[in-house]
């Protein structure tokens, strides 16, 4: 199953220095060009955890695991145009692509999550990624909870404070 991510999940993992955990979980993550632009804008605004991001992005480097893609074709463009105007461009591109291609969406944005649910798009977020990392043995529950707390310190509004309630 292919996975597409908007800026929120990437930001949370970049902010705590754990982007590689996403690579371990998914191998390849797709990001729309709009998400890439949002991250470049963030770097200009002082979000230094985006520095060096290009070294992970295909086609900038052939071994990149974040693959740049675009909304393409009449159907995706139509879906993009039908989305609510309150969505950021990266979220809207992710939703259109995920719906058309049957991909899973990674987002922590509430409006995007609601729209994904309304459209029947599979979704997950930062908490889901941390839970999956524990379940697959990429880290311990203690490590994942530490990373969650660090994300929260970086202004992530988590729906839970302890991942153990999701692993029972």
pTM of the model: 0.94
What is the per-residue pLDDT for 1? 83
**Residue 61, in any domain of the structure:** yes
CB count within 10 Å of CB 101 equals 13
Q: Which residue has the tokens 């459209």?
A: 119
**Residue 134, in any domain of the structure:** no
Burial of 21 (0-12, 13-18, 19+ CB in 10 A): buried
Question: Which CATH number is 41's domain given?
Answer: 3.40.50.1010
**Residue 102, in any domain of the structure:** yes
State which residues form the domain around 81: 3-125
**Residue 40, in any domain of the structure:** yes
Q: How many domains does the chain have?
A: 1
**Residue 119, in any domain of the structure:** yes
Q: Which two tokens stand for residue 42?
A: 């963030």
pLDDT tens digits, 3-45? 999 999 999 999 999 999 999 999 999 999 999 999 999 999 9
**Residue 140, in any domain of the structure:** no
pLDDT tens digits, 69-126? 999 999 999 999 999 999 999 999 999 999 999 999 999 999 999 999 999 999 999 9
């Amino acid at each position: 199953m292919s996975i597409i991510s908007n800026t929120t999940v990437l930001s949370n993992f970049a902010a705590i220095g754990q982007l590689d955990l996403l690579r371990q979980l998914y191998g390849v993550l797709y990001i729309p060009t709009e998400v890439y632009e949002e991250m470049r804008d963030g770097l200009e605004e002082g979000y230094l955890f985006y520095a060096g991001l290009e070294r992970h992005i295909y086609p900038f480097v052939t071994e990149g695991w974040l693959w740049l893609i675009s909304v393409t074709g009449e159907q995706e463009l139509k879906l993009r145009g039908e989305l609510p105007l309150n969505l950021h461009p990266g979220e809207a591109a992710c939703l259109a692509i995920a719906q058309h291609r049957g991909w899973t969406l990674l987002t922590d944005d509430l409006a995007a999550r609601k729209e994904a649910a309304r459209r029947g798009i599979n979704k997950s977020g930062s908490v889901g990624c941390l839970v999956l990392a524990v379940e697959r043995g990429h880290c311990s529950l203690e490590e994942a909870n530490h990373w969650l707390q660090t994300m929260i310190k970086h202004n992530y509004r988590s729906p839970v404070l302890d991942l153990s309630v999701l692993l029972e």
